Structure 1
Amino acid sequence: MRALVVGPGAEGRFAEVPEPAPGPGQALVEVRHASVNFSDLRHIGRLPEGTVLGYDAAGVVLRAAEDGTGPREGARVAAFGAGAWAERAAFDTGSMAVVPEGVDLVRAAALPMAGLTALRSLRAAGPGPGSRVLVTGASGAVGRLAVQLAGRAGAHVIASVSRPERAARLAAGLGAPERAARPAAGLAAPADIVVGLDGVEPVDVAIETVGGPALVAAWALLKPGGNLQSVGWACGQPAVFPPNSTFSLGPARSLNSFGDVTAPADDLAHLLALVAAGELSVDIGLNSSWEDLEDVKAAQLGGSLTGKIVLTVGRTL
């Protein structure tokens, strides 16, 4: 079967690879769509040559798990696991969820890594109703979902983006004006969409996806007792904290790394249910054939595209 793999010189290329052999508790999935995460292409050089790329997929179960767990044969599923950019892939049944009727597989494929990161980082930070939540890189895949999920939790959301045009796109996607915006249907609290962090008042929680100077600035905005979840480093720049900037009076502030995407089936099903109910929207910036890998790579790493890139691997339902 065909797959996109790490080639010589850490470049992605097509190759013929062996058919996957599902192990215990795994199902065989015909991949229809696979989405591109920033790290998939940016850090390709860290993977051994021949590694099948990708983590996010949506498709149809060709063979259910022999132990009887997970979705049945023929079910439409979203899945999270290594080796997703292939015509067929074996996924743990604990990493799959059935795609509800009314949710197309393109949007389902865009959800796993970004959705799990947004949901679980917010859960770890624990914002309650009325708390102030800052989301940096809010026009990105993780950020946009975090804005919506924090709003559903009753938080007041400050959605920070880098450029005015990104603010406009985010506002349009959420069905709201740019400032003091009412988010999309299903979100319970106002959200301010701002460019940069100047003038932002202190916050209880920060979901930080940009890294570098943005991480330092977000840390400075935390109230005593506040929590910052560092979930990305899109800018690629170092974060330089001024002397004594980690000291503050009162309850301790905390900065946590985030990377827990283990056993995602239940959370993935929850996110898909929200999409089906119209309470969570997934922004697709580009839906392209996987044959167009070089164009996809340029779009992903060029910094001008917002929204998820989804690769069409085969025929669609």
Structure 2
Amino acid sequence: MRALVVDHGESGPVRFADVDDPVPSSDEALVEIRHIGLNFGELNYVDQWPAGAVHGHDAAGVVVRAASDGSGPPEGTRVALGMTSHAWAERVAVSPASLGTVPECVDLADGAALGIAGATALRVLRKRSLLARDVLVTGASGGVGHFAVQLAALAGARVTALVGSPNRAAGLRELGADKVLSDLAEVEHRFDLVLDTVGGPLVARAWNLLAEGGTVHLVGYSSGQDTTFPSGALFGFGEPRSIATFGDMTPTSEELTDLLDLMAAGRLSAPVGLRGDWRDVGDAVQALFARRVHGKIVLDVL
């Protein structure tokens, strides 16, 4: 079968190759992949995976063989895969714990956009009550950011979306952002929660805008820059503030199902900024690295 594998050469980060068909264990389903979802991290830091390995984590498809132990969805079920190893292939053997059933009213391609981005936003925003709280989402024009803005607004938060430039602000107010900014110098209040996907100097600036008892959740470092705090910046009186790392990156079936149910109810939309053919993955990767895409990239497996 055909698959996208890790390529550490100049033509990388991925290339097509013929690989062996997967052989599911008794507790795995065999899924025919119809769409794959690209993420910045898995492509930008491809050196963390062995050359020649089938790459990718997020996808959507149809179960063609149910797990022989009777667990998981039956044959013919449309499913979304979240943070599943070796997902960018024509067929994948996967544990039912990483599958979410895609309702008939939800486009299967939209299910491929969930995975890492959707589960990341959902987990962070579930850590505390957000009703009438002030939330800052950095890198809001990306995949995680689009989901986070929507989910925070659904939870009753006052959402500020921060983007890298004004031309990346399109559509964020419609998703629920109360304010869309390209510079934190414009901020006149403090935040109870910061979901940061950018890292670098922005983290130190966001920390200075954190309310007592607030938390900065670090879920990405797309800037590739170091964070330096001025002397005394981490000292303070009042209710303690905190910086938290994200933790486990493996979405569960329940989390994917919750997100898919919100999509089915029309309360959450998939942030697909580019839809194309997986044979054009090279062009899609270039667009992702050049920050020309707002939201996620979903490619059809043809």
TM bracket (short chain)? over 0.9
Q: Which residue of 1 aligns with 2:48?
A: 46
1:167 shift after superposition: 1.4
Tell me which amino acid in the other structure corresponds to 1:13. Answer: R
Which of 269, 276, 282 pairs up with 1:281?
269
- Cα deviation for residue 152 of structure 1 reads 1.1
Does 2:78 align with 1:91?
no
Q: CA deviation at 1:283?
A: 1.6
Given that 1:117 and 1:259 are in contact with CA atoms closer than 8 Å, whether structure 2 keeps it comes out as no
**Alignment partner of 2:213 out of 200, 203, 225:** 225
Specify which of 190, 193, 199 is matched with residue 205 of structure 1.
193
Q: 1:198 is paired with a residue of what secondary structure? A: helix
- TM-score, length-scaled by structure 1: 0.91
Secondary structure at 1:300's aligned position in 2?
helix
Alpha-carbon deviations, 1:20-49, whole Å to 9, x = none?
111232110000000000012101122111
The one-letter amino acid of 1:42's match is N
SS in 2 for 1:274: helix
Aligned to 1:196: 183
Q: Is the 8 A contact 1:62 1:73 kept in 2?
A: yes
- Report the alpha carbon displacement of residue 263 of structure 1 after superposing the two structures with TM: 5.2
| Alignment of structure 1 residues 241-260 onto 2, 5 Å | 241-260=229-248
SS at match of 1:275: helix
Asked if the contact 1:127/1:150 (under 8 Å) is kept, the reply is no
Equivalent pairs counted in the alignment come to: 298
Does the aligned pair in 1 maintain the 2:200–2:224 contact within 8 Å?
yes
Kept in 1, the 8 Å contact 2:116–2:251? The answer is no
Q: Report matched runs for 1:1-317 at 5 Å.
A: 1-9=1-9, 11-80=13-82, 81-124=84-127, 126-171=128-173, 173-174=174-175, 183=176, 191-200=178-187, 201-262=189-250, 264-314=252-302
Please state whether the residue corresponding to 1:291 is helix, strand or coil: helix
Aligned partners of 2:251, 2:200: CA distance in 1, in Å? 30
TM superposition score normalised by structure 2: 0.95
| Counterpart amino acid of residue 77 in structure 2 | A
Please list every run of 5 or more consecutive structure 2 residues that lacks an aligned counterpart in the other structure: none
CA distance in 1, matches of 2:147, 2:88: 23
CA contact (8 A) 2:149 2:172 kept: no
Q: Show CA shifts across 1:63-85 (max 9, x none).
A: 11111111110000001201111
Q: Please give the alpha-carbon distance, in whole angstroms, between the structure 2 residues aligned to 1:311 and 1:259.
A: 28
Deviation string, structure 1 residues 43-63 (Cα, Å, up to 9, x no partner): 112211111110001000011
Separation (CA, whole Å) in 1 of partners of 2:39 and 2:129: 26
Determine the C-alpha separation between the residues in 2 that align with 1:144 and 1:12: 26
Secondary structure of the residue aligned to 1:269 is helix
Whether the 8 Å CA contact 1:53–1:84 is kept in 2: the answer is: yes
Task: Using the TM superposition, give the Cα deviation of residue 7 of structure 1 relative to its aligned residue in structure 2, in angstroms.
Answer: 2.6
Alignment RMSD: 1.3
Report the secondary structure of 1:90's partner residue: strand
Distance in structure 1 (CA, Å) of the matches to 2:53 and 2:259: 29
Question: Does the C-alpha gap of structure 1 residues 240 and 8 become closer, same or farther in structure 2, counting only changes over 3 Å?
Answer: closer
Cα offset for 1:157?
0.9
**Matches of 2:115 and 2:250, distance apart in 1:** 12
Mapped partners of 2:251, 2:107: distance in 1: 23
Distance 1:236 1:127 in 2: 31
Instruction: Name the counterpart of 1:177.
Output: none
How far is 1:8 from its partner?
A: 4.7
CA contact (8 A) 2:119 2:251 kept: no
Q: Tell me how far 1:169 sits from its aligned partner.
A: 3.7
Task: Quote the offset at 1:101 in angstroms.
Answer: 1.3
Structure 1 portions without partners, runs of 5+: 175-182, 184-189
Retained in 2: the 8 A contact 1:289–1:312? yes
Q: Distance in 1 between matches of 2:202 and 2:260?
A: 30
Query: Distance in 2 between the 1:115 and 1:168 partners?
Result: 20
